Amino acid sequence: MKRVIVGLSGGVDSSVAAYLLKEQGYEVIGLFMKNWHDDSVTISNDCPWLEDSNDAMLVAEKLGIPFQVVDLSEEYKDRIVDYMFSEYKMGRTPNPDVLCNREIKFDVFLKIALDLGADYVATGHYCRKGILDVNGTETFQLMAGEDGNKDQSYFLCQLSQEQLSKALFPIGELTKPEVRKIATEQDLITADKKDSQGLCFIGKVRLPEFLQQKLSPKEGDIITIPSDSDIYNREVPEFATKEDELAFFAEKFSYTPEDGKVVSKHQGAHYFTKGQRKGLAVGGTKEPLFVIETDVVDNIIYTGEGKNHPGLYRKVLFVSNDEIHWVRPDLTMKNGESMQVEARIRYRQKLEKAELFKVETGLFVAFENVQSAITEGQFVAWYTNDELLGSGVIS
């Protein structure tokens, strides 16, 4: 009998995953990952992980499977929290959920599971796994979940073949309503529990407060750039090569304080991210202001009025070589090659047509349509026919 360790998070998805595996005849063990100790930055006084681990325990009891809490807060701090601070400090916007899957759930947690004699680890992610034979080698595919509204393949875009070989996604074929129905039929305490928002496994954390622990507040200017600024009328030169053209369009707009006018003050450029609207607290404009660029060196936030401001849009982005990741290594591109794909630059975004171009220094992703708020530090993931082929960090 194969042994599976399920990451029970105290939510409905992982509860139903555990139930389904048991029905399928696996020996199932539930583990709850405790990843956070610091109560100074959680939003509410009640401790979210305590309630969650309690729910996870009650589900395990109901299913009659062994249950244990594992404390991964050290590893979490080293690999996720420190990464977040260093990214914000550089003026990039990290994606802790993608990293949490790569570094915690399918690395630290996976090793614990293997030490416990597990054949697989399972999670409550809405995605599917396929298996192909590529020139005699067993190759694993990461496929979108059946539920188009809930597909979470994006969060797993950094997984390797090795990690996928040990992963099971029992609810990938189901929709959220079907998952809730099973939980209700099985009388699981998590059946009506709301989906958790916030950092993976931390619970509700207020990001600015979280960041203020390490990045001290410092006042700076909020500057608004007019949408008819000359910056957006740059002349497009004749290009000698495709690469020159891509590089030109991938380059982001750069601003100086002289390009706009100061409309307010902020408490630290590294608390803001491109495309952000909340938290600017600037009144008196016809349309709301959006962050179009942050300058963490000079501590300035550049904004534009309205969500159609040209400063928010670009068509091409770049991923440097050391940040390209192929879930399907057999499809790795050579310099000079291109590939038609569909891609997204954030979770929940619908897939957009794009073309990949491999060059010596990295990979260009050229979208058919302009994209709003392409943000450095976030992940771009590319797909063909529901299969996530690879991903990279936007530089």
Q: With respect to residue 239, please indicate whether it lies within any of the assigned structural domains.
A: no
pLDDT value of residue 201: 44
- 171 and 104 share a domain? yes
- Which residue of the set 47, 100, 127, 157 is catalytic? 100
Question: Which two structure tokens, joined as six digits, stand for 91?
Answer: 């003026």
Nearest to 251 by CA among 343, 294, 314, 297: 314
Q: Which amino acid is at 75?
A: E
The verdict on residue 246 lying in a domain is: no
> Does 95 lie in the same domain as 190?
yes
Contact 345, 380 (CB under 8 A): yes
Nearby residues of 80 by Cβ (< 8 Å), 6 or more positions away: 35, 96, 99, 100, 103, 104, 199
Per-residue pLDDT tens digits of the chain, which is 395 residues long: 999 999 999 999 999 999 999 999 999 999 999 887 665 555 455 566 788 899 999 999 999 999 999 999 899 889 988 888 889 888 898 888 899 999 999 999 999 999 999 999 999 999 999 999 999 999 999 999 999 999 999 999 999 999 999 999 999 999 999 999 999 999 999 999 988 655 554 445 566 667 777 788 899 999 999 999 999 999 999 999 999 999 999 999 999 999 999 999 999 998 899 999 988 878 888 999 999 999 999 999 999 999 999 999 999 999 999 999 999 999 999 999 999 999 999 998 999 999 999 999 999 999 999 999 999 999 999 999 999 999 999 99
Task: Choose one of 308, 336, 364: the last residue of a domain.
Answer: 308
The active-site residue, picked from 47, 127, 157, 200, is 200
Instruction: Count how many domains the chain has.
Output: 3
Instruction: State yes or no: is 47 an active-site residue.
Output: no
Q: Both 340 and 286 in a single domain?
A: no
265 and 121 in one domain? no
Can you give the CATH number for the domain in which 118 is found?
A: 3.40.50.620
200 is known as an active-site residue: yes
Residues 300 and 328 occupy one common structural domain = no
d(CA 8, CA 256): 49
Q: Distances from the Cα of 371 to the Cαs of 260, 331, 345, in angstroms?
A: 23, 25, 9
Same domain, residue pair 265 and 325: no
Reduce the DSSP state of residue 219 to 3 states and report it. coil
Q: Residue 297: what residue type?
A: V
Q: E-assigned strands of 64-219?
A: 67-71, 120-122, 127-134, 137-144, 167-168
What is the domain range of residue 270? 220-225+260-308
Residue 287 and residue 201 in one domain: no
On whether residue 208 sits in a domain, the answer given is yes
Q: Is 319 in the same domain as 291?
A: no
Same domain, 295 and 353: no
Q: Are 388 and 143 in contact (CB under 8 A)?
A: yes
Gap between the Cα atoms of 266 and 263, Å rounded: 10
Distance CA 133, CA 65 (A): 35
Residue 366 domain-assigned (yes or no): yes
Say whether both 73 and 197 belong to one domain.
yes
